[in-house]
Structure 1
Amino acid sequence: MSRLVVVSNRVPNPRATQPQAGGLSVALSGALKRRGGMWFGWDGQLSQGPVSRPRIEQADGIDYATLPLSRADYDDFYLGYSNAVIWPVFHFNLGAMDYQRSHSEGYARVNALFADALTPLLEPDDTLWVHDYHLMPLARELRERGVRQRIGFFLHIPFPDYDVLRAMPGHRQLLEDLCRFDLLGFQTENDRHAFEESASLAVGALVHEPGRLRHRNRELRTGVYPVGVDVDELADVSQRTLTAPRVRRLLDGLGERDLIIGVDRLDYSKGLEQRFRAFETLLQDYAHRRGHTVLMQIASPSRSSISEYADLRQRLEGLTGHINGTYADLDWAPIHYLNKTFARGSLMGLYRAARVGLVTPLRDGMNLVAKEYVSSQDPENPGVLVLSELAGAAAELEAAVLVNPYDLDSIAAGVNTALAMPLPERRRRHAQMMDVLRANAIDVWEARFMADLTGPAESAD
């Protein structure tokens, strides 16, 4: 079996004493342990200047090869082109794009740096799996350095329609770069279709059939691989942590009130402002919910040095004060807004305790919170997922209460429907979604992608 080399912008700390934060890290670590291999990328640290030789550590049979970034590279590559250009455009938010030529140059510079550092570490039969929007040029950079091994790429965020993508400076070069991979993986069929249409219109790729393209005398494949979760592990953790002191204090404070929970990174793509306003609409239009319903919104800090994120935090704090000031009573505050990060185990217990999981991104590649919420429920008395139609998860979780994240009345009505849903229907919907989650679990995602990447070769570069 060939060695697997995972490449991502961030690499988990092999010396960390706490459990890894997400199911994705667990899945990739598991794949590396089974196949043997290396995880390469940024270590999350900043250096005084460029560092070209990676630090290599071994843990649990995995080689972790990591580099720090210089402050200039972090500003231009990470905060700049990756998160002030690609992120907003790929989430259909052109108004938030802030393009600067130095950012584009930094994006190219760091991808070249990664390729320079990674190439000497590769073995002839390695299989490479590159992750996410930070590293779209990496296959080209590696090919130019003589790397001929199989290279797959998985995009965790949405891929925009061509009329949106074409507004982004540098989009043709990125499409050319993506065509240098052997296999491109997307979360949904819509994302794959959007890429194939863009590659055809912008760089002349010939689409033989869905999933097979030809560009500049080489063949590449595309596939749909929705990221999943470890259903059984989440169900077990949520059941155990329901009795944890922090969770019990929350439930004791709620009394007989219904808990609605939202858990997101603090990001404009998550629809948090619309969610807060929709909750206010719920209190306005469904007066019987006043005093009996609490929205707990956990928003983990994110990219606070980007002005849009700092501004969003201030607006959410203002909305919380306005809604609580208008509707609160002596023994009830309708919104509990927490701008902090909680341990994953505590979140699972909160999910299980919540009557409604409210997941309303304006656009999302998948959204694993939706899948985690469903997996964490008590099958005998499950809560209800209220889910944005524009999240990738909506393509699988059709038994959720689906809403338009821009329509405040739709969200409010969806939450009211969820709160009023009778137990037999809640059980039926939950069972249906659990069947889907088990069929598309995290280990299935990894196995399907790797099977397609390591299958019979179509062509050499």
Structure 2
Amino acid sequence: MGRLVIVSNRVPVPEKGGAAGAGGLAVALKAALEDRGGIWMGWSGKTSGEDEPQPLSHQQQGNITYALTDLTDTDVEEYYRGFANRVLWPICHYRLDLAEYGRKEMAGYFRVNRFFAHRLAPLIKPDDVVWVHDYHLIPLAAELRAMGLKNRIGFFLHIPWPPADVLFTMPVHEEIVRSLSYYDLVGFQTDHDLENFAGCLRREGIGYEVGQGRFSAYGRIFKGGTYAIGIETAAFANFAKKASANKTVRRARESLQDRSLIIGVDRLDYSKGITQRIDAFERFVLANPAHQGHVTYLQITPKSRSEVPEYEAMQSMVAEQAGRVNGALGTVDWVPIRYVNRSVGRHILAGLYRLGKVGLVTPLRDGMNLVAKEYVAAQDPEDPGVLVLSRFAGAARELKQALLVNPYDIEGTANAIARALSMPLEERQERWKTMIDQLLEHDVSSWCRVFLEDLTASPVQTC
């Protein structure tokens, strides 16, 4: 069996003497790499101005070689900030109003993928298996094939795949779909995403299903499948239990003064539905006077892509909205919303999840949303909280015992918060038990293993 080669936009390089500082995805992929030996290649996060980037830098840790490349300022502006995050990201999250297509940015996106391919190809041995991650690198397989590589190459999309009427608003949609046909296996988070992809092929007569999860398009045969990404469930549950003794978590518990905690944790992004969520919390408090002064809503929202204007504007909008609600509803001894606009350590988050009587996870659209899974895993089995989850998050396809809501329905979400806080213990335990069993069986290691098994079992593509 050959080595595993993973390619992603960014690489979670371990700190010296320690493990990778990222979450369950990095843990699972690192374990797979350690088992088979291999390479993790991606952008270093550094720029070289407008000069030609230096050769790949390598860092060896056990069986794993971390291969990092710098990009030029133009590359970052066109490939990353431009096409990837101002065209693909909004369109895949159904936000056509925010997509800003430019031919220069599109050209930069394909150019950087070609650049990645030329840096990666010399490292690949004939029997290596290549696994490419996410929307930044969709064209990578096509570039590698053009260079003559015959290896098994798989792709996993971590974000949603939209229906044809949404995708086809992008001027280069056909080039994007064509690029996916060069993979042996294309993985999506949910059955809805796979159905949308199949619909895109049928809609334009681009391709069709040939049975057993296989598709024919552009003269190539490839497989498509659903692989709902998980978390390191058992480890995170143990993590949360131990975190209750953490000094910060203990201070947070004491500061609540027996108030019920409602918690939301999201990267600052317009897809997360944070403003609608604050509106729903306000509606809940106004409609339920008995809860006034007896609940605290903690929203943790680290900054994200602050160099993109839409994100900077949203940061101000969320802060102003939280301030308005606190000014309208708060009293001298009660602040309804605690808004934290910075990163919080994962060990602290685990303890805060466990404190939460309600986990409020209500994105407008999300590929999966691992916060929902972490919240469930963190709960005390004897007294679990209740997950209020958007039906438009991929996690809703698995966590059906959560209270599923339409995040655009402010009153409906407010009612779900009220129901969650009044839910009897026995019902909470039953709902939680079903969800935790699902997460234990389908954890991130299982996701990784099943995808790689399917990739290596996929038939070699034909032209």
What is the aligned-residue RMSD (CA, Å)? 1.2
5 Å-filtered alignment, 1:1-400, equals 1-15=1-15, 19-48=20-49, 49-51=51-53, 53-202=55-204, 204-209=206-211, 211-400=213-402
- State whether residues 52 and 117 of structure 1, in contact with CA within 8 Å, keep that contact through their aligned partners in structure 2: no
- State whether residues 247 and 350 of structure 1, in contact with CA within 8 Å, keep that contact through their aligned partners in structure 2: yes
Question: How far apart, in 2, do the equivalents of 1:238 and 1:19 lie?
Answer: 19
Question: How far apart, in 2, do the equivalents of 1:85 and 1:459 lie?
Answer: 29
- Per mean C-alpha deviation after superposition, the further-off stretch among 53-62 and 196-205 is 196-205
Report the CA distance between 1:413 and its aligned residue: 0.5
Question: How far apart, in 2, do the equivalents of 1:80 and 1:241 lie?
Answer: 39
Report the CA distance between 1:19 and its aligned residue: 4.8
Deviation track 1:278-319 (CA, whole Å, cap 9, x = no partner) reads 111011111111100111000011000111111111111111
Question: How far apart, in 1, do the equivalents of 2:141 and 2:385 lie?
Answer: 44
TM-score normalised by the chain length of structure 2: 0.98
Question: How far apart, in 2, do the equivalents of 1:332 and 1:210 lie?
Answer: 58
Report the CA distance between 1:331 and its aligned residue: 1.2
Which residue type is aligned with residue 277 of structure 1?
D
- State whether residues 78 and 107 of structure 1, in contact with CA within 8 Å, keep that contact through their aligned partners in structure 2: yes
Change (3 A) 1:255 1:308: same
Change (3 A) 1:402 1:137: same
TM-score normalised by the chain length of structure 1: 0.98
Deviation track 1:123-161 (CA, whole Å, cap 9, x = no partner) reads 010000000000000010000011110000000000000
Deviation track 1:60-101 (CA, whole Å, cap 9, x = no partner) reads 320011101111111110010000000000000101111111
- Per mean C-alpha deviation after superposition, the further-off stretch among 174-183 and 46-55 is 46-55
Deviation track 1:364-387 (CA, whole Å, cap 9, x = no partner) reads 000000000000001111001000
Report the CA distance between 1:456 and its aligned residue: 5.1
Report the CA distance between 1:460 and its aligned residue: 4.0
SS of match in other structure, 2:261: strand
- State whether residues 20 and 26 of structure 2, in contact with CA within 8 Å, keep that contact through their aligned partners in structure 1: no
Question: How far apart, in 2, do the equivalents of 1:18 and 1:251 lie?
Answer: 30
Question: How far apart, in 1, do the equivalents of 2:168 and 2:266 lie?
Answer: 29
SS of match in other structure, 2:371: helix
SS of match in other structure, 1:364: coil
Which residue type is aligned with residue 8 of structure 1?
S
Unmatched 5+ residue regions in structure 1?
none
SS of match in other structure, 2:79: helix
- Identical pairs, percent: 46
Question: How far apart, in 2, do the equivalents of 1:327 and 1:162 lie?
Answer: 44
Which residue type is aligned with residue 59 of structure 1?
Q
Count of equivalent residues:
461
Question: How far apart, in 2, do the equivalents of 1:291 and 1:226 lie?
Answer: 39
SS of match in other structure, 1:303: coil
Unmatched 5+ residue regions in structure 2?
none
